[in-house]
Amino acid sequence: MSDEETARDAAATAAVERISEGMTIGLGSGRAVWRVIEKISERFGDRPPLKAAFASNRTAELARAAGIQAAPLDGQARIDLALDGADEIDPQLGLLKGGGGALLREKIVIASADRFVVVAETRKSVSRLGETFRLPVEVVRFGWPETRNRVLRILPSAERRRRDRDEPYVTDEGHLLLDCELPESDDLDALGARIKGTVGVVEHGLFLGMATEALLGRPDGNVDVRSV
C-alpha cells in the first residue's frame, strides 16, 4: 500500500467510526468517499443498517453494490452526517472541491446535512485555497462562451474542462466545468458570491463555512483531526 493509500485508509477508518446504526448519511464523491464505502462494508457487512444520499452516479453505484439503501433528497429526509473529500483544505476548514466534477451535487448533499466531516489526506492541506488546484465553476451549456467571458471579469483564467479525445467534460447534471485560477483574496466569501451571482453559473467549488471537522490521514497511518 502506498503512502497515499495508507493515509486515505486511515481517514476513511476514522470517518466510519463516526457513523452509528440507523443514521442517514450523505456520501460525496472521489477516492476517499469510495474508501469510506468499503470501510462501511467491512464494519457492518453486506446489509449496512443505514441509508445514504449520493452525490454522484459513481458513488451511488458503489454504495448500492455494498448494500447501502438510498435516501432521496425529497425535502423530508434528514441527513445526520455528510462525508466527503476535498482537493484543498485551508487552516479555517475552507475547502476547494470539484476536481472529480461532482461539486454541485456534493454541495447540495452537504447543505442538507446536520454535520459535514471532511475525509482527506494531510497532503491536501494548504495555507490558502488555490495553491495547487484551480477552482471549478459549473456553468450551463447554453451560451457557455458568453458565461466564460463574464467569469473572466472576476477571475484571471477560465478554461473549459475536457475529457480524453478533446471532448468536453459534462457533469452528471449535464453542465460544463470551467477550471479557473483562484487569486489571493482576503474575502473568499465575497468572491464566491460574485461568481455564483454571474448569469450562466450554476455553482463553484469554494466550500466555505460548511465543514465542522476534518479527518486528515497521514502516511504513517495516523489521523490529524481538525475542528472549528
Q: How confident is the model over 180-220, as pLDDT tens digits?
A: 999 998 899 999 999 999 999 999 999 999 999 999 999 99
pLDDT tens digits for range 23-32:
999 999 999 9
In a domain, 167, yes or no: yes
57-65 helix and 31-44 helix, angle to the nearest 10 degrees: 20
Same-domain status, 147 and 199: yes
Q: Are residues 167 and 103 in the same domain?
A: no
Residue 90 maps to a domain: yes
Residue 10: exposure state from Cβ atoms within 10 A (0-12, 13-18, ≥19):
buried
The reply to whether 49 and 110 lie within a common domain is yes
Whether residues 121 and 171 fall in one domain: no
- Among 52, 208, 210, 175, smallest CA distance to 104 is for 175
Residue 98 sits in the same domain as residue 173? no
Count of domains observed in the chain: 2
Does residue 226 belong to any structural domain of this protein?
no
Q: What is the CATH number of the domain that holds 191?
A: 3.30.70.260
Do 107 and 183 lie in a common domain?
Answer: no
User: What is the average pLDDT score of the chain?
Assistant: 96
The DSSP element (H or E) to which 11 belongs, if any, is: helix 3-16
Same domain? For 25 and 90 the reply is yes
Task: For residue 70, give the CATH number of its domain.
Answer: 3.40.50.1360
**CB atoms closer than 10 angstroms to residue 46:** 9
**Is 224 a member of any domain?**
no
Q: Check whether residue 45 and residue 156 sit in a common domain.
A: no
225 belongs to a structural domain: no
Residue 228 located in a structural domain: no
Q: Tell me: do 26 and 139 sit in the same domain.
A: no
Q: Are residues 70 and 181 in the same domain?
A: no
Q: Is residue 46 in a domain? A: yes
Q: What is the pLDDT of residues 102-154, one digit of tens each?
A: 999 999 999 999 999 999 999 999 999 999 999 999 999 999 999 999 999 99
The fraction of the chain above a pLDDT of 90, given in percent, is 94
Active-site choice (17, 88, 106, 121):
106
Q: How many Cβ atoms are within 10 Å of 218's Cβ, its own excluded?
A: 16
**Is residue 87 domain-shared with residue 104, that is, in the same domain?**
yes
Asked if residue 83 belongs to a domain, the reply is yes
pLDDT confidence band for 228 (50 / 70 / 90): confident
Residues of the domain holding 174: 135-203
> Phi, psi at residue 11, to the nearest 5°?
-65, -40
| One domain for residues 99 and 163 | no
Residue 106 among the catalytic residues: yes
